[in-house]
Structure 1
Amino acid sequence: MIATPDDYAWFSYEHFPGLADAYCFTYVRGLTPEQLVTRLGGRPEDFTPMTLGELIEARYRHGYDTAFLGATTIGDWVFVVEPNVGLGADEGIITPLSAGTRLVSHFRDVEGVECFYWIEDEKTRFCFIADDGYSEEVPDEVAETLPRIGSDYRHLYPSEGPAFLLTERLTGITLTPELLEGSTYLCGVIPEPR
């Protein structure tokens, strides 16, 4: 079965309050959660295992100016969840984080500002940046996915399905409610993100 944006309608405020209206999901190939934390300038020993619910609750206790995240392993990837914050949308952070590997991230804030990035070894291959829209050049790796999004994909926001489909294509990971809720995340604060 070929996925469409409607297949990700489950990711909604109704089912994931405290996450779906403002989130950042980042996938980095070939790293462990501990390696990711270290690359970002954190100390893995200061991080604690948590469920998704605990991660969301803890994030809101740390305030809006704090870089609080949870990371888990999915296959060969580390998957990062950031409720209501977006290190994964900061090019100054994710470009060096992608060194030697592939990084895919998508972000939405409470005001509806959205970003999507595919970065390969510090080079942006494809992106959607709020107010700028999608990249003009479409790499072959995502060209076959765009028709599944719709003929007018440039007018859809990433969180309406395109980000999930593109991420699935670029990582091989199909995010499901069970995967999101059933994972244990290594959680904590990145004191001064690099």
Structure 2
Amino acid sequence: MPAVSSLLVVGRAAVAEDYRWFGGIRDFGEGFCFTWIRERTPQQVIKQSGGKELERIGWDQLVGSGDGQEVGADRYFYGVAHVAEWTLMIEDGGTFGTTDSQVWPLSRGTTLISHYRGKDGRGRLLVLDDQSVRLDFDPMAADRIAGSGAEDLRPVIDGAGFAAAQRLRPGDRNEYRAYCTEAAFALIERMTGVAMTKELLETLTYLFTSVPRSSVRSS
């Protein structure tokens, strides 16, 4: 198994405050999922997930009314784009990136990082390395972390903002929830080396893709 240090990159030691801008985005009221897959192209991800590209869209179309996941639908929907050495999948209210049967195959031979938050604020930050769980926890409960890298990565997790989040926990729930979301994005930046700014998201072109919920790929 690769060393835990291989999950980290040299670059800005991002912290929660770097992602305060995310709180200004009101389009994710039903939740979101951001999934990063290393050294895979968007086309490879679409093919491996059993998806079909529907159209090429911009950020406003991806998160605006009408393009989000429909509750009870028989398909997943995501927008996918190439960023540095990663492919980034974004779901507006979707759950593809937190569905084990979907993301495990996508992590074969590479690293996959998924950050999901549901409408109720609960979520999941999952790091898979070649189908092995390195981290798995709810950002709202960062005192309970699973995965083979949990212990060694604890200082990095705390430094990204989760130690500060615990001090906010007894206070305002909305403030705590927002800060945990920001800390999760900061932690992911420390692992991808990509500063996910609003400007970056707005400049990308996304391949809007649908995937049957019954689609499970093993390779």
**TM range, normalised to the smaller chain?**
0.7 to 0.9
Cross-structure match for 2:183 = 162
Q: Distance in 1 between matches of 2:97 and 2:132?
A: 15
- 2:26 maps to which of 17, 39, 43: 17
Q: Distance in 1 between matches of 2:94 and 2:30?
A: 11
Q: Which amino acid aligns with 2:59?
A: L
Q: Check conservation: 2:104, 2:131, Cα contact below 8 A.
A: yes
- 2:99 maps to which of 90, 93, 118: 90
Structure 2: give runs of 5+ residues left out of the alignment.
1-11, 170-175
1:172 aligns to 2:181 (yes or no)? no
Q: Distance in 2 between matches of 1:38 and 1:110?
A: 29
TM-score w.r.t. length of structure 2: 0.76
For residue 119 of structure 1, report the CA deviation from its aligned partner.
0.5
Alignment of 1:106-121 (within 5 A): 106-121=115-130
Question: Using a 3 Å threshold, how does the CA distance of structure 1 residues 170 and 139 change in structure 2: closer, same or farther?
Answer: farther
Q: Distance in 1 between matches of 2:26 and 2:160?
A: 28
Q: Which amino acid aligns with 2:150?
A: V
- 1:29 maps to which of 38, 45, 57: 38
Cross-structure match for 2:156 = 144
Q: Which amino acid aligns with 2:56?
A: P
Structure 1: give runs of 5+ residues left out of the alignment.
none
TM-score w.r.t. length of structure 1: 0.85
- 1:52 maps to which of 55, 59, 69: 59
1:185 aligns to 2:206 (yes or no)? yes
Deviations 1:108-158 (A, max 9, x none): 111112100111000010111477932275254563342341536566658
Matched positions, count: 189
Q: Check conservation: 1:141, 1:170, Cα contact below 8 A.
A: no
RMSD: 2.5
Q: Larger deviation: 168-177 or 124-133? A: 124-133
Q: Check conservation: 2:29, 2:119, Cα contact below 8 A.
A: no
Q: Distance in 1 between matches of 2:196 and 2:118?
A: 20
Q: Distance in 2 between matches of 1:166 and 1:54?
A: 27
Q: Larger deviation: 85-94 or 75-84? A: 85-94
Q: Distance in 1 between matches of 2:194 and 2:37?
A: 12
Find the structure with the greater CA-based Rg.
2
Q: Which amino acid aligns with 1:122?
A: Q
Matched-pair identity in %: 26
Cross-structure match for 1:3 = 14
